[in-house]
Homo-oligomer: A and B are copies of this chain.
Amino acid sequence: MKKVGVALLGLGTVGGGTYRILQNNHDAIMKNDGIDLEIKHIIEKDVTKAQALGADLSIVGTDIDAVVNDKDVQIVAEFFGGIEPAKSFLIKCLLAGKSIVTANKEMFSKNWVELEAAAKKGHAGLYFEASCVGGVPIIRTLTESMQGNNIRSLMGIVNGTTNFILSQMADDGLAYSDVLKEAQALGYAEANPTADVEGFDSMYKLSILSSLAFRKKVPISVIHREGISQVSKEDIEYGKMLGYTLKLLAIAKETDGKIEARVHPAFVPDSHPLASVKGSFNAVHIVGDNVGDIMLYGRGAGDLPTGSAIVSDIVFAASQPKPKYAPFKNVDKINPKDFTDNYQCKYYLRLNVRDQAGVIAKITSVFAKHNISIQSIRQVSDGETATVIFLLHKTFENDLTKAIALIEKLDCVVSCDATVRVED
């Protein structure tokens, strides 16, 4: 029987969940996987958290060096969140030859290159399944199951808070601010919701996932990011009428060797597998040149779902005869030439116009001048002014921005009230 010593850094939500799974599944893991996992250290200031879990208090402390210097510890699982002290602690552990397992998407996405270098130097492993989409095995799928594919696109709902908010807005016809309050009351959104609702959390995850999909490091600096705080219930309703569902998507595509990566609200057709992902559930949709469309769906957060991914990584790490510090070879550098921000999208455009003759002709002639082709036009309300919704074929963002500036100056146009990208 292989004995493996584990240290847990932090006993918050996921740390606590991991502790419980390791206790409850210890014997099953021993039987099925032949590994005897023993928790040797818990680094946690708040001893009451360890008490609440019934942990052996003699292994609870605050000194990371006790972990680093314990030759019986092979794996360190980190749950601090934030950049420091997580990063410094983990680099110390890696250099000391201890493999690390982390759920910390922000720290990991911002310091992957440095962590990988430390792991290589220390002959240690680097495992991060829990950093993206909780218990959904998306990292293992990208690293261990897609070797026969060039991945064309990766598109995911990777944040449960925003998906809960958008689902509630769609189901109940409520405004963003009302649903946010409800989500905060239910514990689905933080008191300060910025990291979720402005798309930062999705951006960290997209950086990790797209790097694996395209086997190139995709840093957060190349990711276009917009959140959902400007989404209106009107557009969700109009979208429904047109057969679209609004989601906050993390999108990455590779075309002719160039990667585009972006996080923003987007309409997907109701028939798209991502459209039926409701509430706090997450899903990632991948298109590979050989495998075609696949999608992985599940809980993106929570103590036990994320703890499940952490434990899976601990067992996976403990089973490797040689630590894995990099899922793919030749991807230890960031190369600015790999990326483009000059991408094309389909668009939904909502205009408020005066209800008079010739309006559509004037607007469409501006589109024509910018080579923007129209998929459909719908006039959705009457009165002194009218609402007109355009669905536009793929166009460069730059062209659209110029066209909208001209359209807004037309006498017959009161305002351009919304532009939403469409993915299908």
Contact = CB atoms under 8 A, between A and B. Distances in A.
B290 A21 contact: yes
Binding site secondary structure of chain A: mixed
A304 B291 contact: yes
Nearest to A137: B145
A57 B424 CA distance: 43
Contact of A304 (B32, B134, B278, B290): B290
A348 interface: no
Given A145-B309, A294-B298, 12 more contacts: A21-B290, A29-B147, A135-B290, A135-B292, A136-B294, A137-B141, A140-B140, A147-B311, A273-B297, A292-B304, A293-B297, A321-B322
A218 to B, nearest CB: 15
Given A140-B141, A141-B140, A321-B322, A33 B147 contact: yes
Contact of A32 (B136, B215, B271, B298): B215
Interface in A304-340: 304-305, 307-312, 315-316, 321-322, 328-331
Nearest to A147: B315
A28 interface: yes
B293 A329 contact: no
B293 A298 contact: yes
List the number of copies, as a whole number: 2
Given A148-B21, A148-B315, A291-B308, A32 B140 contact: no
Contact of A295 (B28, B147, B297, B304): B297
Nearest to A293: B298
Interface in A274-298: 276, 278, 281, 288-298
A294 B32 contact: no
A103 to B, nearest CB: 13
